[in-house]
């Protein structure tokens, strides 16, 4: 049988096995238009959620952000109630909760800074709403248990955005690996992710490890989730480089050895960075073969919303392994081994001469 036909059948089998039937809401099992509210609406990631809410046929009714540059709301509706203060937003959701089902908020999208995710998810659950929260769900893994208890108390569900799990090329690769079974030896994987950021990055909440979780959490967590989804759980982790704008290390997974490098330094891009133009480079090689997934990122949030509304979203336990891993990375001492170093470190020896804290 031609391997492409075999792979196509494998993908169809995988989708049938893992995707639930449409028409089921998160907890309320609704088939009508849902009311959404959103936190952090003036932030970087909010437009993807606003688009996903609209593209799935639902309605935004309330929004909050202490920064009032929220004119983007007019692109979606002139009737969204906006609150600069989270307390008034909370009061409004509680007021709607006590009204009719047509008025109440059914789901809250959390797009606020990482350190506020925990508190805003609690607010949403207590307001009687389900949650779709940007990654990471929380910075520290022990907060997940308390959120799980609150899910049980309220009967509502927390969902997160693990968008690489719905990227078509990566879904196909996952199905291929599952069909082939465990490799005879561990795969050799090299991950490089550089996304150029200016000096503002370190001055914002993103540059604060306490508020963002650090570089591995803020820009790397979806890659670590993808790697464990593809290659199994963590057996060993090493941290080789820790800087405010660069991190690198090694992870041994059940079926792969991973050398990884993350950076927000524009000079680490393999091409000349120019303001206003492409400033992101993603590369994953598996046993020397480049994994092609540069396209297909446009509507991943919408796909996540579609899955979540069907009742097939990614919950707390889906997110837990990557949150535990980035916490381990964040709290690990620096080590260096030639055999497990990322090629970037081997090509830039200065990082290995006591400059790893610079």
pLDDT tens by residue, 58-89: 999 999 999 999 999 999 999 999 999 999 99
Q: Which domain holds residue 70?
A: 17-160
Last residue of a domain, one of 114, 139, 160: 160
Instruction: Give residue 15's pLDDT.
Output: 46
Last residue of a domain, one of 105, 138, 160: 160
94 and 239 in one domain?
Answer: no
Q: Is residue 254 part of a domain?
A: yes
Contact 238, 340 (CB under 8 A): yes
Alpha-carbon distance values, 261 to 109, 130, 189, 199, 344 (Å): 30, 35, 12, 20, 8
Q: Is residue 357 part of a domain?
A: no
Angle at 331 between CA 326 and CA 333, to 5 degrees: 120
- Among candidates 164, 181, 178, which has minimal Cα distance to 227? 164
- Among candidates 114, 122, 110, 119, which has minimal Cα distance to 49? 110
Instruction: Give residue 167's pLDDT.
Output: 94
- What does the pLDDT look like over 12-41, one tens digit per residue? 544 454 444 333 345 545 568 999 999 999
**Count of domains for the chain:** 2
- Among candidates 10, 24, 50, 12, which has minimal Cα distance to 312? 24
Rounded CA gap, 124 and 55, in Å?
Answer: 22
Query: Which range is least confidently modeled, 57-71, 113-127, 210-224, 335-349?
Result: 335-349
Rounded CA gap, 298 and 111, in Å?
Answer: 18
153 and 60 in one domain?
Answer: yes
Instruction: Give residue 358's pLDDT.
Output: 42
Contacts of 51 (CB under 8 A, 6+ apart): 301, 302
Instruction: Give residue 54's pLDDT.
Output: 97
- Tell me whether the omega of the peptide bond preceding residue 136 falls within 30 degrees of 0, making it cis: yes
Instruction: Give residue 231's pLDDT.
Output: 97
Residue with tokens 């069909």: 179
Instruction: Give residue 279's pLDDT.
Output: 85
188 and 42 in one domain?
Answer: no
Residue with tokens 């799935």: 56
- Among candidates 162, 40, 59, which has minimal Cα distance to 111? 40
Rounded CA gap, 58 and 171, in Å?
Answer: 26
Paired tokens of 270: 């393999």
Instruction: Give residue 272's pLDDT.
Output: 85
Mean of all residue pLDDT scores within the chain: 89
Identify the bridge partners of residue 189 per DSSP, sorted by sequence position.
Answer: 258, 286
Instruction: Give residue 343's pLDDT.
Output: 92
Alpha-carbon distance values, 256 to 15, 225, 226, 233, 335 (Å): 24, 14, 12, 10, 20
Does residue 159 surpass a pLDDT of 60?
Answer: yes
217 and 154 in one domain?
Answer: no
Crossing angle for the helix pair 143-154 and 316-330, to the nearest 10 degrees: 160
Rounded CA gap, 248 and 259, in Å?
Answer: 8
154 and 184 in one domain?
Answer: no
Last residue of a domain, one of 160, 189, 223: 160
Q: How far is CA 113 from the centre of its chain?
A: 13
184 and 149 in one domain?
Answer: no
Total Cβ atoms within 10 A of residue 358: 10
Residue with tokens 């959103």: 38
Q: Is residue 262 part of a domain?
A: yes
- What does the pLDDT look like over 172-210, one tens digit per residue? 999 999 999 998 999 999 999 999 999 999 999 999 999
Instruction: Give residue 16's pLDDT.
Output: 53
- What does the pLDDT look like over 93-147, one tens digit per residue? 999 999 998 999 999 999 999 999 999 999 999 999 999 999 999 999 999 999 9
337 and 193 in one domain?
Answer: yes
Angle at 77 between CA 76 and CA 81, to 5 degrees: 120
Q: Is residue 311 part of a domain?
A: no
- Residue 111's domain is classified under what CATH number? 3.40.50.720
Q: How far is CA 138 from the centre of its chain?
A: 11
Rounded CA gap, 59 and 33, in Å?
Answer: 7
Q: Is residue 11 part of a domain?
A: no
The pLDDT of 249-262, averaged and rounded, is 97
227 and 131 in one domain?
Answer: no
Instruction: Give residue 318's pLDDT.
Output: 97
340 and 224 in one domain?
Answer: yes
Paired tokens of 115: 């350190």
Does residue 317 surpass a pLDDT of 80?
Answer: yes
Does residue 347 surpass a pLDDT of 80?
Answer: yes
Does residue 275 surpass a pLDDT of 50?
Answer: yes
345 and 243 in one domain?
Answer: yes
- Residue 339's domain is classified under what CATH number? 3.30.360.10
Q: Is residue 5 part of a domain?
A: no
Please provide the distance, in angstroms rounded to a whole number, between the alpha carbons at the two ends of the chain: 55
185 and 284 in one domain?
Answer: yes
Q: Is residue 134 part of a domain?
A: yes
Instruction: Give residue 106's pLDDT.
Output: 97
Tell me the backbone φ, ψ of residue 272, rounded to 5 degrees.
-70, 125
pTM of the complete model = 0.87
Rounded CA gap, 156 and 125, in Å?
Answer: 6
HSE at residue 54, side-chain half, CA atoms within 13 A, is: 13
341 and 193 in one domain?
Answer: yes
Contact 35, 103 (CB under 8 A): yes
DSSP secondary structure code for residue 276 in this structure: T
Q: Is residue 35 part of a domain?
A: yes
- Among candidates 199, 107, 185, 167, which has minimal Cα distance to 296? 167
Q: How far is CA 58 from the centre of its chain?
A: 22
């Amino acid at each position: 049988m031609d391997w492409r036909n075999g792979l196509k059948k494998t993908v169809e089998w995988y989708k049938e096995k893992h995707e639930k039937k449409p028409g089921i809401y998160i907890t309320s099992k609704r088939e009508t238009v849902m009311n959404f509210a959103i936190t952090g609406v003036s932030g970087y990631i909010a437009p993807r959620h606003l688009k996903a809410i609209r593209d799935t046929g639902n309605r935004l009714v309330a929004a909050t952000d202490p920064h009032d540059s929220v004119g983007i709301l007019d692109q979606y509706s002139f009737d969204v109630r906006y609150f600069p203060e989270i307390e008034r937003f909370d009061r409004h959701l509680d007021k709607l909760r006590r009204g009719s089902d047509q008025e109440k908020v059914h789901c809250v999208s959390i797009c606020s800074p990482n350190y506020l995710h925990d508190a805003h998810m609690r607010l949403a659950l207590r307001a009687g709403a389900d949650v779709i929260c940007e990654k990471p769900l929380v910075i520290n893994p022990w907060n997940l248990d308390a959120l799980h208890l609150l899910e049980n108390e309220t009967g509502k569900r927390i969902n997160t955005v693990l968008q690489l799990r719905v990227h078509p090329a990566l879904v196909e690769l996952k199905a291929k690996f599952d069909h082939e079974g465990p490799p005879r030896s561990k795969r050799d994987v090299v991950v490089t992710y550089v996304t150029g950021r200016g000096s503002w990055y370190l001055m914002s909440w993103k540059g604060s490890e306490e508020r963002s979780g650090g570089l591995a959490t803020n820009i790397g967590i979806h890659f670590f989730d993808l790697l464990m989804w593809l290659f199994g759980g963590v057996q060993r982790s090493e941290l080789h480089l820790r800087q405010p704008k660069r991190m690198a290390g090694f992870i041994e997974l059940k079926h792969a050895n991973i050398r990884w490098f993350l950076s927000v330094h524009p000079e680490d891009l393999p091409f000349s960075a120019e303001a206003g133009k492409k400033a992101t480079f993603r590369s994953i090689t598996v046993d020397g073969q480049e994994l092609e997934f540069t396209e297909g990122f446009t509507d991943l949030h919408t796909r996540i919303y579609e899955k979540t509304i069907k009742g097939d979203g990614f919950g707390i336990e889906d997110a837990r392994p990557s949150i535990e891993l980035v916490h381990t990375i964040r709290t690990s001492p620096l080590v260096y081994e030639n055999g497990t170093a990322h090629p970037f470190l081997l090509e830039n020896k200065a990082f290995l001469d006591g400059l790893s804290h610079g």
